[in-house]
Amino acid sequence: MQKILIDADTGIDDSIAILFALKQPGVRVVGVTTGCGNTSAAQAAENTLRLIHMVQPPYEVPVAIGANKPLVGQWAGPVPHIHGRNGIGDVELPVSPQKPLAEPACDFIIRMIREHPHQLTLVTLGRMTNLALALEKAPDIVPLVKNVVFMGGTLHHPGNVSPVCEANLAGDPEAADLVFRSGLDLTMVGLDVTMQVRLTAHHLDMLEKYAREENRPIAAYIRQAMDVYYRFNRLQNNCLDHCPVHDPLAVLAAVDPSLVTIRKAPARVECGGTFCRGMVVADFREHPIDAPYLSICTEVDARKAVEKLITAFT
């Protein structure tokens, strides 16, 4: 049984990633921590609790609220034009009787790593603030973590918030660079691969047609939420009823690494500058910078990835 802990800023694509993880055979989600980004940390936790309630997994999935600002500076606020006013496309899911933990996200991360030594894969779908805070508080957890798979960054593909930067890392570069320097086994699932995997209206038709009976509420939710996400991608990126699969691909790669091709290089995150703050700087020279190696996903089996995502519910 693969054990994963998800850290998310639960927006639309985060929600699909969480649903996939909860429905994936052989995977146990030991908990979800939330931070600001697509929406506030508290709203992300509320969204997550409602998603868990919809799935009703056969085990408890604790939810802990984390940072509502980056390590340096302040959070710029939610992005309702992308994810709706509530972060999940303005879909009103039933309220969950479950409440978030009183324990802060960083403390929960530390506790889960210590309770599952050498077994836990951390999957971060938003800013890396909660993980960075955990590392600052308990640096001894590093050798206890199996690996970290994160959605963020870009190597060759253009950025989505600046010419060279992706939103998650640009939202808290100091946290990302602290994680990069920590010595954790890191795999970057960035725009180089997420932009290759497209969830289309046809895929949603197939999901609704073939969803198992217990998953029909999930299929209906995804269809509703994706209306908002498709609208943004249509206006912003000229995508006609299709969009990239960002956060779900990180969970997919964590569950099935054969989906991606990896290239390793020493890497840091740029924390200064106007256009490059948040940029992943990977050094492929013969004598590279003194930095830990990062596993960078450079290619993906896009067809297999999206089919694996959809068939989790069918």
Active-site amino acid positions: 9, 246
Q: Which residues pair with 200 in a beta bridge?
A: 242
- How many C-beta neighbours within 10 Å does residue 223 have? 16
Tell me how far apart the alpha carbons of residues 112 and 114 are, in angstroms, rounded to a whole number: 5
Three-class secondary structure of residue 165 per DSSP: coil
Distance of CA 108 to CAs 18, 58, 96, 133, Å? 18, 21, 21, 11
* Nearest 10 degrees: Cα torsion 233, 304, 37, 163: -60
Given the structure tokens 């056969």, which residue do they identify? Answer: 58
Tokens of 234: 């249509």
Task: Answer yes or no: are the C-beta atoms of 129 and 67 closer than 8 Å.
Answer: yes
Give the chain's end-to-end CA distance (angstroms, integer): 21
Taking the C-alpha atoms of residue 219 and residue 264, their distance in angstroms, rounded to an integer, is 37
3-state secondary structure (DSSP) of residue 183:
coil
Amino acid code (one letter) for 166? E
In terms of Cα–Cα distance, which of 133, 126, 206 is closest to 166?
Answer: 126
Residue 92 has phi, psi (to 5 degrees) of -100, 95
What CA–CA distance (Å, rounded) separates 131 from 108?
10
